[in-house]
Amino acid sequence: MKNHGQLETKLNLSFKNKKNLENVFVHRSYLNEHKNFYLPSNEKLEFLGDSVLSLVTSLYLYKKYPSLEEGDYTEIKAAIVRTESLAESAKLLDLGEYLYLSKGQDRESGRRNKNILADCFEALIGAIFIDQNFETAYEFVLKYLFSDKLDKIINNKLYLSPKSRLQEYTQGKFKITPNYSVIEEIGPEHDRIFKVEVSIKEKKYGVGVGKSKKEAEEKAAKKTLEKMT
């Protein structure tokens, strides 16, 4: 396990209370095997970090993108704070190397588990907020989560659903909207599978399959976008 001082150096931060930083890495599985460990799991720090992250994201969007609508803010927040993004940032900082895990979790690649890493990253935000201040947590999120990722999501409208993006694209290019047709329904009423096809100007493009028409349409739109853009 790495020394926490290495992480402080990397982050250019010196924690006033070193236990705040150590607590970031205590996974609940570790406590099952070390019941008398002097720190709790990182779950409460993660809960706090999740709230701080939400405020940081909202404030950043409000200040930098004032022309966007409230609904856009909601979609953008969902796109940037999803598990995959948080885990990716955690990997860049090698947070998995500092984790306190049970032997089982360690054997099962817990140090690379996306959910564990995402939770750890949020716990680190919470620890920075508690130990330092909101401004430091804000700068940490901007540097290690947003960097150029958030601007790319916004500029390319990646926060929109595939259906919304395809509609914008076809309206801009062809002045028409896509047409979605259910071409097949399989299975009983309670477990129906839908197959949907997208056509634009009567030309057939992507086909999507899902447990609802909406899911199938989104998948079909995504495939269409991949072909057209």
Query: What are the Cα distances from residue 173, in Å, to 73, 129, 149, 168, 170?
Result: 26, 46, 27, 9, 5
What three-state secondary structure class fits 121?
Answer: helix
Of these residues, 75, 122, 197, 218, which one is catalytic?
122
Of these residues, 22, 50, 72, 215, which one is catalytic?
50
Query: Is residue 151 annotated as part of the catalytic site, yes or no?
Result: no
Query: Is residue 8 annotated as part of the catalytic site, yes or no?
Result: no
Characterize 22-50 residue by residue with b for buried, 16 or more Cβ atoms within 10 angstroms of its Cβ, and e for exposed: bbbbbbbbbbeeeeeeebebbeebbebbb
Return the residue matching tokens 């901007």.
142
Annotated binding-site residue? 69: no
- Signed CA dihedral, 62, 68, 74, 77: sign only: negative
Annotated binding-site residue? 46: yes
Catalytic residue IDs: 50, 122
Q: Which residues are annotated as a binding site?
A: 46, 119, 122
Q: Which residues are annotated as a binding site for Mg(2+)?
A: 46, 119, 122
